[in-house]
Amino acid sequence: MQLYTEQPFRLWQLHSIKCNLFVFWILIYAMNYKKSLVFVSACAGMLLFGIVFLSLGTVLTFVRQQYDMSELQVGSLTALLPFGILAGSVVFGPVVDRYGYKQVLLGSTLFIFLAFEGIAYAGSLRVLQAAFLLIGFGGGIINGATNALVADISPESKGANLSLLGVFYGIGAVGMPVLLGLLSDKFPYASIVAGIGIFVLLPFIFFLVVRFPVSKNSHGISLKEVGRLFSAVLLLLGFVLFFESAVEGIANNWATSFALAVVTPENTFALIALTLSNISLVISRLLLGFILVKVKPNTVLYFCWSCILAGSLTMYFVHTVAGLYTGMILTGFGFGAGFPVILGYVGELYPGFTGTAFSIVITIALIGNTLINGLTGVISQKYGVSHFPLVIVVCVILMMIIFAAAFKKMKLKIQSEGEVKEVMV
């Protein structure tokens, strides 16, 4: 009888030892510097960013129901979100250049976790406002830091790897609304919001064990060094993203209103059009992850901008459901190249201060998103929402002109430094 009881116990001990050794091996492997693991961690961060920001609609529904808030109070929460994103985008660059990526990614995920738990169990409007500010701040940091991280670990094909990184935001953007729709029928909103916060801890644990690149400026960054970054080339690239961010923003924010006012009064068709645009963006980023390895980035950029022009003009002139779908698919596909290619150029030009340079251009991009969205609102109110595709057309033409000037200066900069970089040619 003793043998019968001891044998299973010994087998359990052996199994436990094997499991512990396997976990130990995984930890040792993760703690050694591996570019593949670093890239996976960046993708996990970008997936988190997509999931978090596509969850905010559910969060606002929960807030309205749970706290019986007025539209004005809800508006105060949503107004804090872009402010937090802007603040996070300004801060992340100098911090990652000075201290490295691990602490920044850990801190940003912790901010987002605390924010979601705060929303789920908040007892006052002030706590909710602080939580929304934290979500924006953490999201702005994690978005910028993951892009800068991928640029830093990609000595070649920065644009291609940044495109693949963007795929994971798209996966979160497309998949999360569907998942939340299924969960909302089975669980209360408080549990869903708290569950999203718990999910944030998964990439937090991953960031904790993965070894990241060391800081490039552990001695510190002087204001003089930061001032040198504000060159004509960087500012021109920043203003390309100013309009790129703007057209992406107004396409998402105004397409539904355009569809309902001009094409069809049925909301379903507008939602399908937005979904098709997001799917098209994911496919575009996935394809560009391979195309940018073989095709010059500037060629890809002009092709994608041409797709945006074609899509916008289709929506403006063809007021049918088929025209709406075609236009949104083309514009979504065209959005794929802008950020990855331009950030790839920035990473090539400023390898010693990738984070700070990314902070500058991403901040300019966010300002453009806000200003052009506001301008589109004024135009729509005065002349009608049917003119919103023309705003996109004008922005794309301006992007092409600004990029042509930036590209010329980039080539002159490379020649003056005696460098040859295929990505710039």
Residue 222 has a pLDDT of: 62
Distance CA 213, CA 203 (A): 17
Phi-psi region of 113 (alpha: psi -120 to 50; beta: other; left: phi over 0): alpha
- Band of the pLDDT at 22, cuts 50, 70, 90? very low
Tell me 352's DSSP state: G
User: What share of the chain in percent tops pLDDT 70?
Assistant: 83
* Structural contact between residues 392 and 386, judged by C-beta atoms closer than 8 angstroms: no
Is the C-alpha dihedral spanning 51, 201, 192, 62 positive or negative? negative
SS (H, E, C) 221-288: CCHHHHHHHCCHHHHHHHHHHHHHHHHHHHHHHHHHHHHHHHHCCCHHHHHHHHHHHHHHHHHHHHHH
Average pLDDT for residues 126-140, to the nearest whole number? Answer: 88
Distance, first Cα to last Cα, the chain? 79
Tokens of 227: 């001032």
Tokens of 130: 């602080």
The values of phi and psi at residue 387, to 5°, are: -90, 0
pLDDT at 327 over 80: yes
Distance CA 193, CA 77 (A): 16
Cα 246 to chain centroid distance, Å, stands at 14
Distance CA 248, CA 169 (A): 14
* Structural contact between residues 201 and 312, judged by C-beta atoms closer than 8 angstroms: no
Three-state SS for 398?
A: helix
| pTM of the full structure | 0.83
Q: Which domains does the chain have, with CATH numbers?
A: 37-211 (1.20.1250.20), 229-411 (1.20.1250.20)
pLDDT at 72 over 70: yes
Cα 330 to chain centroid distance, Å, stands at 20
Mean pLDDT, all residues of the chain: 82
pLDDT at 106 over 90: yes
**How many CA atoms within 13 Å lie on the side-chain side of 67?**
24
Q: What is the pLDDT of residues 256-298, one digit of tens each?
A: 888 888 888 887 888 888 888 888 998 999 999 899 888 999 9
Distance CA 193, CA 369 (A): 27
